[in-house]
Amino acid sequence: MNRPVISHESAVAVVRDSIEQIAPDIDAHAIPLDTDMRIEAELDSMDFIAVLAAVKDRTGVDVPESDMATASTIDGCAAYVVANTTAERPATADDRADRPYDVNARTEIIES
Amino acid sequence: MTTIERHTDVFRMPALGADMTEGRVVEWYVDEGGRAERGDLVAVVETDKSDIEIEVFEPCVFEEYLVRIGQPVPVGEPIARVTVDGPRAERTPAREQPPAPAHVASTTTTGSTTTTGTTGNTTSNTTGNTTKATTTTTTTTTTTTEPNHRERATARRRMTPRARRLARERGVDVGSLPTDATITGDTIARLTEDVRRSPSRADRSPNLRRAIARLMERSWAEIPHYHVVSTIDLTDADDRLQRYNETRPVEERVVIAALLYAAAARAAHETPQLNGWWRDGTFVPSESVDLGIVLALRTGGIVIPTIQAADRVDTTEMMSVVRDLVERARRGRLRERDMRPASISVTNMGDLGADSVLGVIPPPQVALVGLGAPRLRPAVVDDTLTPRLLVEASIAGDHRAHDGMAAARFLRHFHRHLEDLP
């Protein structure tokens, strides 16, 4: 099926929320979707980790270290979230047996 | 503590820095009649520099508030009547806060005569109204999830007074919320409206700016600064971190800044001449390494919260401690314990910063570690020119207290710890 349980627009909103949580004085809507948020919002490496942790809190999607560059734009981060939040997503190298994935739990969080 | 003796006592406005003359309670986390355990955060006190969360040091019941929300209260004045379970040990700010922390300058309160919720134009006026449950007091107070923090013992769903009030007023069905974490006012507020943005922060800027100005003026006038710089190769340390992070979920990953802070704290422990205070014409060494972290606020200005006994904090723990500090500093919600005097401080430009920094020491400390942005630069390794990740590390030293040799020794120890630390 691979039906996305979160739309790209929702994922973008989640990423923006996460940025604003870490940097309350930033207007995430002012950050262009395709530019590096780290530079645009002056997020240092510690802030950026915190943003990705906030995204994970909201969606359950853990952006691995190797994909952090891709996830440094709002669009890129949102796309990663969408790709990894499908109802029956294909197994990827990032899947780990010790971190079970619970689609239903995540869906609730997203919609609440 | 052997005897348990109940007695009535007062809870006083704490001194959050020796120069602080007064503060304003802007939120109570405990209801009148409510109980607080040792270490519980019970109130938010507003100063010029930050809103600071206040904790209790012994179990007690808050019988009655003695001050209004937003009312300016001199340091040491009673702010609440409490019943204490333990032996009589009145908590006096003078005892709790011995030396002068460099990071809280005096609070010459302006616009403070109002107590009706319209807090003038000077200070965070969003927090002035919390009794009426305005929801602008920023977001998730992470207080209740910190490991060291003892949760309020309560059989019912854990909620802050503000959260209960908001839920009641807005008709939020609390039963539908997750039970795994304490529900804060912000949780409730977020369900009903968007309160992430905190328009108050800019309002504090003029006061914060003045406080920094006083501190820096004093530093520059009093301290004969010298500076010493070393270039340190972070390549191996960075490789180690990369390997560590590869297998870890995002919340457990460590950035190089955490390693730099941990190494600096250890170097300070091994260079006692740099770790302490200049007082009354003489150097007073500190027994522990209480590391001040200079944090730049986006709205302008800096705050310097303290990590106590930082030389005993390992790298991964340092990462979470600093992340937590940064987040709370940004929200203007530092805690009382964050504001204790530092024995030495670090200013870290971070990966977006300039190449190097030669700092100005926050008195009465005698040294400031300055870290530039780590960058790939050409370096000679085994007679070969090769790109390496280098950082310019400096010491700003108080020449009254020590000499360049001590600073150079610090930087050697710092370098060694960067190689050794896991």
How do the domains of chain A map onto residue ranges? 8-83
Q: At what angle do helices B185-192 and B161-170 cross, to 10 degrees?
A: 30
The partner residue sitting opposite A53, judged by closest CB among B139, B250, B350, is: B250
- Give the span between the Cα atoms of B5 and B87, in whole angstroms: 5
Q: A25-64: per-residue pLDDT in tens?
A: 788 999 999 999 998 888 888 899 999 999 999 999 999 9
Find, in chain A, the residue whose alpha carbon is nearest to that of B324. Answer: A50
Find, in chain A, the residue whose alpha carbon is nearest to that of B328. Answer: A22
Q: How many angstroms from the chain centroid is the CA of residue B206?
A: 20
pLDDT score for B16:
80
Q: B301-351: per-residue pLDDT in tens?
A: 888 999 999 999 999 999 999 998 988 888 778 888 888 899 999 999 988
Q: Is the CB of A24 less than 8 angstroms away from the CB of B138?
A: yes
Instruction: Indicate which of A15, A18, A25, A101 best probes the interface with B, i.e. most B CBs within 10 Å of its own CB.
Output: A25
Q: Is the CB of B323 less than 8 angstroms away from the CB of A62?
A: no
The CB-side HSE value for B160 (13 A sphere, CA atoms) comes to 28
Instruction: Indicate which of B183, B186, B250 best probes the interface with A, i.e. most A CBs within 10 Å of its own CB.
Output: B250
- Is B126's pLDDT higher than 60? no
pLDDT score for B355:
94
pLDDT score for B158:
58
- Across the range B392-406, mean pLDDT stands at 97
- Is B405's pLDDT higher than 60? yes
- Is B70's pLDDT higher than 60? yes
What ipTM was assigned to the predicted interfaces of this complex? 0.72
- Is B249's pLDDT higher than 90? yes
Share of chain B above pLDDT 70, in %: 70
Name the fold adopted by A8-83.
1.10.1200
- Across the range B271-291, mean pLDDT stands at 97
Find, in chain B, the residue whose alpha carbon is nearest to that of A105. Answer: B178
Q: Is the CB of B249 less than 8 angstroms away from the CB of A99?
A: yes
Q: How many angstroms from the chain centroid is the CA of residue B310?
A: 13
pLDDT score for B186:
62
Band the pLDDT of B208: cuts 50, 70, 90: confident
Which of these, B335, B323, B309, B273, lies nearest to B104 by C-alpha position? B335
- Across the range A73-102, mean pLDDT stands at 66
Average of per-residue pLDDT values in chain B: 78
CA–CA min distance B349, chain A (Å): 9
Name the CA dihedral angle for B135, B136, B138, B141, rounded to a multiple of 10 degrees. -30
Which of these, B175, B18, B33, lies nearest to B99 by C-alpha position? B18
Chain A hits for B319, CB-CB cut-off 8 Å, are 46
- Is A67's pLDDT higher than 50? yes
The partner residue sitting opposite A23, judged by closest CB among B140, B257, B298, is: B298
Q: Are B342 and B290 in contact (CB under 8 A)?
A: yes
Q: Are B67 and B25 in contact (CB under 8 A)?
A: yes
